[in-house]
Chains A and B, each alone.
Chain A
Amino acid sequence: DVKVTQSSRYLVKRTGEKVFLECVQDMDHENMFWYRQDPGLGLRLIYFSYDVKMKEKGDIPEGYSVSREKKERFSLILESASTNQTSMYLCASSPAGGSGANVLTFGAGSRLTVL
């Protein structure tokens, strides 16, 4: 069963801590994405990557960075967590081209609480 795995389902961190959210996909997808989901605001794109070592800013990149050293792994990093980064974080992947390019497969999500 192919899937996107987010290693941490629930995290509680303190303000100022460095936070790593890990995402691994086993579908050999080129594209990977990080979204955050907040009530009333929907899903907003933080960063995305079309290839290894490649990254592009999404709509709300401030306060975040990403790393893609291997094709299957895309990490989201909060250098200094703040309370306004309390949210549900969703990772997704998709193949590079063809009709499947925009059919995203999502992970189960990581709910982060920053105190």
Chain B
Amino acid sequence: KQEVTQIPAALSVPEGENLVLNCSFTDSAIYNLQWFRQDPGKGLTSLLLIQSSQREQTSGRLNASLDKSSGRSTLYIAASQPGDSATYLCAVTGTASKLTFGTGTRLQVTL
């Protein structure tokens, strides 16, 4: 059974810092990996999707990498801003197109 772990569970950084969020998964037989953002009390917004054949994807200040063989992904956020404060979740797609989610990293960017 696929398990997805995100460490740390919570992170607080001052504005302007670059930061890395980590995601690991136990079964490397995945089709893709996604990173989502969730604001308090809201649904999830898809940020980046990395196909299993890809190594990384970039969108603005966000860069996500994937090392499928080692079961790891990172989300790099450059020059963090208070508006980046949210919970970030990763999810992997396995057989039958089922997504397995991590429990998320709650990020707070302080002024």
Residues of A within 8 A of B41 (CB): 109, 111
Q: Establish whether residues A102 and B99, one from each chain, have CB atoms under 8 Å apart when the complex forms.
A: yes
- Of B32, B34, B46, the most chain A CB neighbours within 10 A belong to B46
How many B residues touch A, CB cutoff 8 Å? 23
How big is the A interface, by class?
Answer: 20 to 34
Query: Chain B contact residues: over half helix, strand or loop, or mixed?
Result: strand
Q: Which of A83-111 contact B (CB under 8 A)?
A: 90, 92, 99, 101-109, 111
Contact A102-B93, Cβ < 8 Å, known A108-B42, A108-B43, A109-B43? yes
Q: Which of A42-87 contact B (CB under 8 A)?
A: 42-45, 58
- Identify the A interface with B (CB < 8 A): 4, 31, 35, 40-45, 58, 90, 92, 99, 101-109, 111
